[in-house]
Amino acid sequence: MKKLILWAGMAASLLVVGCAENHQKEITVIPAPLGVELQEGTFRLNAQTALWVDAPQEDKQKLEACLAASPVKLSLAMQEPRDNAVILKQVETLSGVSSPEGYVMSVSSGQVKIEATTGAGLFYGLQTFLQMAVGTGELPAGTIVDEPRFAYRGMMLDVSRHFFDKEFVKKQMDALSYYKLNRLHLHLTDAAGWRIEIKKYPRLTNFAAWRESPTWKEWWNGNRQYKEEGDKDAYGGYYTQDDIRELVAYAQERYITLIPEIEMPAHSEEVLTAYPELSCTHEPYKQADFCVGNEKTFEFLEDVLTEVMELFPSEYIHVGGDEAGKASWPTCKLCQVRMKKEGLKDVNELQSYLIHRMEKFLNAHGRKLLGWDEILEGGLAPNATVMSWRGTEGGMKAINAGHQAIMTPGEFCYFDSYQDAPDSQPEAIGGYLPLSKVYSYNPVPDTLSQDKVPLIYGVQANLWAEYIPTPEHMEMMIYPRILALAEVAWSSPLVKDYGNFHARALKAVEELQAKGYHPFDLKNEIGNRPGSDEPVEHLAIGKKVTYAEGAAYYPGYAAGGDDALVNGIRGGWTYGDKLWQGFIDKKGVDVVIDLEEEMPIHSVGADFMQVCGPGVFMPAEVIISASTDGEEFTELARIAHEVVKDDKVTFKNFGWEGETTARYVRYQATYGPFGGFLFTDEIVIK
């Protein structure tokens, strides 16, 4: 029999194989398996196909339940069948597989056999089988040897900014586990609402879980008031401890670990309004950070974590740690006393005092601390694991100090960004993170030495929910991008290929829709901003640009520096893509381009963008002028623009068309009434 062998390294051809009979066989599994060896022949499911699970009782139950809940219907065999069967077998050792989550699946015309050394491995083999069987019920004969690249494959859901009930969370766990993700991190607490019942502190859920406005945006831009549970128009909700137990059990059935996040010392306005004595000034509605000088803070946090640990078996407990303003600490007597007594030289060290203490507490209870990368500031707690969100520097720093890191950089892993042309999407926080960009992420930085790679524990997508008020919208932001993240987390870079993945993702979107999910409509994706993928040709390319005094570009948005506006490269859908140059200096934009010789010119123009949330506005006026000597300029156009605030991301060209002769072109743009940034990407002269 002719055998076609395909192993990692043959990315493009991995999943599509021409057979002897000259028809195509496809394995459209997500994430792409590591090694696939296909043979001639097919296994066909029919009404008599039986399931036989040979695994410890607990795993056997989970695996049988998973199959029973799937669209693939098999009968349970009473004894091990020989033929027409799907057999799942836990074995002592498995050659070619080193991860406990790996599996080997052998398919012949008579049976499908999945072997693994753990229940998790069998579960992942089963997901591969289900993805292959769905639809036609036919599987090509052959062998799949598969294991994950990373042990931690996660998704974070923000259930504070908007509350999503337990049924929503369960539904997402069904899909996450189908794509072999194994961690679900719940952001349970934040200013916008506390979402977990803590028996010892009832105000957290009968007050701090409820607010005035149903949308975060209205609430945040308004008075940010909380409400009593049961008040007319109170918006919010929380998980009772029974709900949490139900979610934990549901997760365990799918080999998912639920990781709770309890924010400290910041993002805690809701707690400090319910229990103002835990803030520095003891005033409700005034503070975001706990008072670190007050022992009551530690009593509260330890009490909360004690109840949290009773509910969540997760080895890791996430303590947040991000974005502490620390505003009241320098003037708080108790904080100052604490700093003196503990020999802490600044407020960063005061924050790390809190984190270290909480780590000791968690460690003493057999748990480990996980936190956002700010927990590095002021000294990292001894056994902490860092979630690197502000780029990968935090993760690298943690790794270089011998700690584990989970990579979740905003640029690739923040699913609250737009996934397509902003004007085709509901309002998002900004940014642009299409499927292809998520897919392109490699969590192992090139600069990392080989011996440190094992310290990269894994990768996670984060979905912050400020602008996501409904479950349907939440799902649209998750899918299909989480499928790309799943492949980043599971598959070897050697088997990754975006074109191939895209085809599988299109199919997966249809499958998700059929199952009642609301994925983004990938087949109608618009893609990047027109013109941003192809360089523009024009007269100023590579010419010298002189920036006027008081019109320097902002170093954080340099877009490569002095030639950014004449390099032929347009920006994309976000000013954060390093292709847009940002101005916040006194005069706005004021540049002169020297074309090196006098020449006829017919048009001068530049695009600007507006995103009001982060303070990016259109110019109020643009002046375009030209000169033959660089001294005397003649005004070609003066364009006034009324800058109006809106909720959209908009782009506008400000230009002149006509006939003139010039060597020098001056382009000026001034700020409107709201100040903020001006962003432009290219001054196109033709």
Closer residue to ligand ACM (CB): 36 or 387: 387
Closer residue to ligand ACM (CB): 416 or 681: 416
Query: What CA–CA distances, in Å, run from 519 to 414, 431, 524?
Result: 17, 19, 12
Closer residue to ligand ACM (CB): 310 or 323: 323
The rounded distance, in Å, linking the Cα atoms of 439 and 91 is 33
Instruction: Report in angstroms how near the CB of residue 355 gets to ligand ACM at its nearest.
Output: 15
Closer residue to ligand ACM (CB): 372 or 517: 372
Residue 445 preceded by cis peptide, ω within 30: no
**What is the total count of residues that contact ligand ACM (CB under 6 A)?**
4
Instruction: Report in angstroms how near the CB of residue 451 gets to ligand ACM at its nearest.
Output: 29
Closer residue to ligand ACM (CB): 466 or 511: 466
Locate the DSSP E strands across 265-330: 316-320
Instruction: Report in angstroms how near the CB of residue 465 gets to ligand ACM at its nearest.
Output: 12
Instruction: Report in angstroms how near the CB of residue 464 gets to ligand ACM at its nearest.
Output: 7
Closer residue to ligand ACM (CB): 197 or 263: 263
Q: Which positions are catalytic? A: 190, 267, 323
Instruction: Report in angstroms how near the CB of residue 373 gets to ligand ACM at its nearest.
Output: 8
Answer for which of 54, 322, 427, 563 binds ligand ACM (CB under 6 A) is 322
Site string for ligand ACM, 90-119 (x = CB under 6 A): ------------------------------
Instruction: Report in angstroms how near the CB of residue 237 gets to ligand ACM at its nearest.
Output: 22
Answer for which of 323, 472, 521, 534 binds ligand ACM (CB under 6 A) is 323
Q: Does 361 bind ligand ACM (CB under 6 A)?
A: no
Q: Does 467 bind ligand ACM (CB under 6 A)?
A: no
Of 547, 479, 550, the residue nearest 171 (C-alpha)? 479
Closer residue to ligand ACM (CB): 194 or 372: 372
Q: Does 389 bind ligand ACM (CB under 6 A)?
A: yes
CA 284 to chain centre: 33
Of 372, 357, 261, the residue nearest 318 (C-alpha)? 261
Q: Does 229 bind ligand ACM (CB under 6 A)?
A: no
Of 554, 555, 483, the residue nearest 519 (C-alpha)? 483
Q: Does 372 bind ligand ACM (CB under 6 A)?
A: yes
Q: Read off the tokens for 632.
A: 């005397």
Axis-axis angle for helices 481-490, 471-478 (nearest 10): 40
Instruction: Report in angstroms how near the CB of residue 489 gets to ligand ACM at its nearest.
Output: 19
Give the dihedral of Cα atoms 284, 287, 289, 290; nearest 10 deg.
Answer: -30
Contact predicate 115/3, CB 8 Å: no
The rounded distance, in Å, linking the Cα atoms of 120 and 628 is 73
Question: Closest CB to ligand ACM belongs to which residue?
Answer: 322
Query: What CA–CA distances, in Å, run from 547 to 45, 220, 453, 475, 553?
Result: 70, 38, 44, 46, 8
Closer residue to ligand ACM (CB): 178 or 389: 389
The rounded distance, in Å, linking the Cα atoms of 120 and 490 is 14
Q: Would you list the DSSP string of 467-531?
A: T--SHHHHHHHHTTHHHHHHHHHHS-GGG--HHHHHHHHHHHHHHHHHTT-----GGG---SPTT
Instruction: Report in angstroms how near the CB of residue 380 gets to ligand ACM at its nearest.
Output: 16
Site string for ligand ACM, 532-561 (x = CB under 6 A): ------------------------------
Sign of CA dihedral 69, 70, 71, 77: negative
Binding residues for ligand ACM, per CB under 6 A? 322-323, 372, 389
